[in-house]
Structures are given as C-alpha cells and as structure tokens.
Amino acid sequence: MPGLVYSSDSDDIYEAKHSRLFGRERPIHQVLGGGKVADVLLWRNRNVSAALLGVMTVIWFLFEVVEYNFVTLLCHASITTMLVIFIWRMVTEIFKLTPPRIPKVILDESTFRNVASMVHKKLNRFLSKLIDSACGKDLPFFILAIFSLYILSVIGTYFSFLNLLYLGFLCLETLPVLYEKFEEDVDHLAGKVTRELKRSYRKFEAQFLNKIPRGPVKDRKIR
C-alpha cells in the first residue's frame, strides 16, 4: 500500500550511517586475527605476502599445468635442496668461506598455531551463523548463503579442487586488502543491499505472511 510506513524505517536510517560489512564492530585487521597472519593478508609485510603468493602460484603451476604428482614433486624438491646444500658446503670448505647456517627450526610452531586458531574460530563462527540464519534469525544472510553456496556448487563442477583452493587463496590475498582500501564504499553498498532485503521481507511479511490464518493459541497453566 502506498504511504505505508514501517516502524523500523528509523532503524534503517540509523543503519545507513553506522552499518558495516557483516555487522562487524572491529577494524578488518583485528577481524583477521590482528597478528602476523593479518599482516600477510593485508600486505603489511609486502615481501612475505609477495613471496607467499609466488610460492603458491608455482605450486599451482606445477600441479595443475605441468601435472606433477605430489610424491614425485616432494622427492625432487628434497633431492634438489640436499644437492644445493651439499655443493654449497663443499665449496665453502674448499675456498675456506663461511659455511651455510641451517636453522634448527625450519617452520615456526607459533605461526601454525595462529593459523589453526584463526581458521578454527572463523569456521565455528561461520557455521554458527549458518545455523542461526537457517532458524530464521537472519533472513537476508540466509538468502545470501543459499545463493552463494549454489554459485559455488556450480563453479565446483567446472574447476578441480586444486583450482578452487588456489582461487580461494587468491581471494584471501586480494579481497581483504582491497576491502581495507575501499572500506567505506563497500560498507555503504553492502548496507544498502541488506536494508533493501530487510525492507522487502517486511513488506512480504505484512502483505502475505501476517494474513495466513492461524489456530487459537491456548495459554498453558503454570503449575
């Protein structure tokens, strides 16, 4: 009906000024964990981020384009590394140079802990959000999740798991830093879409769902 005013229109005006993507209240750096992982994803340390992107690209190229087998690639990489270190060591002994310093700890344990902890928290939060939206608590997110999962299932029929994994890594390496750069524009657009979905749902509820006849509800006596 024209001229119909909904009680939550004032809330929409408030959300238009204060809404942020996914309803977050913290900066994107803290949302991503606020540690070394967040620095890498947001390209705060450009050398590490670029090196990680280069390594993942080389791995994807070897497996997907060259069609290397994982065991074969692992053995060839180990043989090459051992030969390089052996030759380097022999050359330093012959020419009396400084021998190579091999660190006792190649991979830092705390880094793996931080990554595993962040993935665990984000996965739990995402699954909880999906369950809550399926219970009808957040209809716009429910519709968005259904649509996104369907699009992902269609994409999955045309891409291998490795391609999807590499595509996901590219998104992790590019989308957070792009969002941080254009945060206000993205928040404004996402808030506008969310408010339109909520407004459409309220209209649908007022015009159709509320008109569905329901049986009488009997009050239960509390003993």
Please give the Cα distance from 121 to 164 (Å, whole number).
22
pLDDT tens, the chain, 223 aa long: 444 444 445 455 445 445 566 556 677 777 777 777 788 888 888 898 899 999 999 989 988 888 888 888 889 889 998 999 899 888 988 888 887 777 666 666 777 787 788 788 888 888 888 888 888 777 777 888 888 888 888 887 887 888 888 888 898 888 888 888 888 788 778 778 877 878 887 887 777 767 676 555 455 444 4
Give this prediction's pTM.
Answer: 0.55
DSSP conformation letters of the chain: -TT---TTHHHHHHHHHH--GGG--S-HHHHTTSSHHHHHHTTSSHHHHHHHHHHHHHHHIIIIIS---HHHHHHHHHHHHHHHHHHHHHHHHHTT-PPP---S-SS-HHHHHHHHHHHHHHHHHHHHHHHHHHTTS-HHHHHHHHHHHHHHHHHHTTS-HHHHHHHHHHHHHHHHHHHHHTHHHHHHHHHHHHHHHHHHHHHHHHHTGGGS--PPPPPPPP-
Angle at 176 between CA 174 and CA 177, to 5 degrees: 70
**pLDDT at residue 21 in the model:** 61
Please give the Cα distance from 202 to 195 (Å, whole number).
10
**pLDDT at residue 209 in the model:** 65
Instruction: Please state, as a whole number, how many other Cβ atoms lie within 10 Å of the Cβ of residue 215.
Output: 5
Judge contact between 118 and 43, C-beta under 8 A: no
